[in-house]
Chain A
């Protein structure tokens, strides 16, 4: 076989076909983590451009999709790293504090306990309620995930990022602390804030006293 034939027979990259074959998949993957259409599109574009450059190293070995998702994961981590440095981006500490305050006794002997526990007549409005749903049921409901995404929106970008890396990707504390350049105690505080806010928001907008 001549040198020329070898060159010709090497598989060549067909990025247009990548978009058709994996575009939806990569976009959904990115969208579930970034919850922003233009950020998700950017991540997919950066992924495919990087893939084009690195194609010779891959050269059709293994699953194309697995390879692309591997690159996308790095692009998403880059995004989290970037937004976590923007200290001022998003977040409303005061609103968050207010929203939690109405749930707990502010004075008296039972200060710091659920208002619902001290005044049972207010439990119906304030909760926490029993959530009658299974993870499998919720996973099926596109509408629930729209509410979920809107609930994460008001959180500071770095807190939402920490939450996503922990809950969606199941990264370890060390991995997350490394991306966000924080200490583990700080991470725990951030995750607590994210969960407290999200829990309250989902209760009000999905699970609340009104039945869905």
Chain B
């Protein structure tokens, strides 16, 4: 067997598969929806096959998951600790708030 024969076969196989599967652009909305609902069996199988030939769509999905997880982690941090490295209420806003409340109280 010639060296490279197997990789040649693999390449041809992925071309064959790629022509029969939805394109990456068609896959992306489904990846986003996988964060919203349980995908159908058909959708899940299609994605599995698509990931076999496309590492970039798999990366995209990991990125979406990381974005969600970091937003939640940040949000939790802001809600549990006062030491969160987020800007605090500015002094002038603090004064305005107090004045508005004094007026309302009278």
Residues of A within 8 A of B (CB): 13, 15-16, 18-19, 23-29, 31-32, 37, 41, 44-45, 48-49, 52, 104, 109-114, 116-117, 123, 127-131, 133, 135-136, 138-142, 145, 166-170, 173, 188-189, 191-192, 195-196, 198-199, 202-203
Contacts and interface: CB of A to CB of B under 8 A. Distances in A.
Contacts, number: 156
B94 A168 contact: no
The 5 closest A-B pairs by CB, nearest first: A112-B23, A15-B101, A135-B69, A139-B73, A27-B89
Chain B interface SS verdict (over half): helix
A117 B64 contact: no
B36 A24 contact: no
Interface string B20-48: 00011110110011011100000000000
B66 interface: yes
A202 B57 CA distance: 17
B27 to A, nearest CB: 9
B17 interface: no
A135 B70 contact: yes
Nearest to B56: A114
A128 B74 contact: no
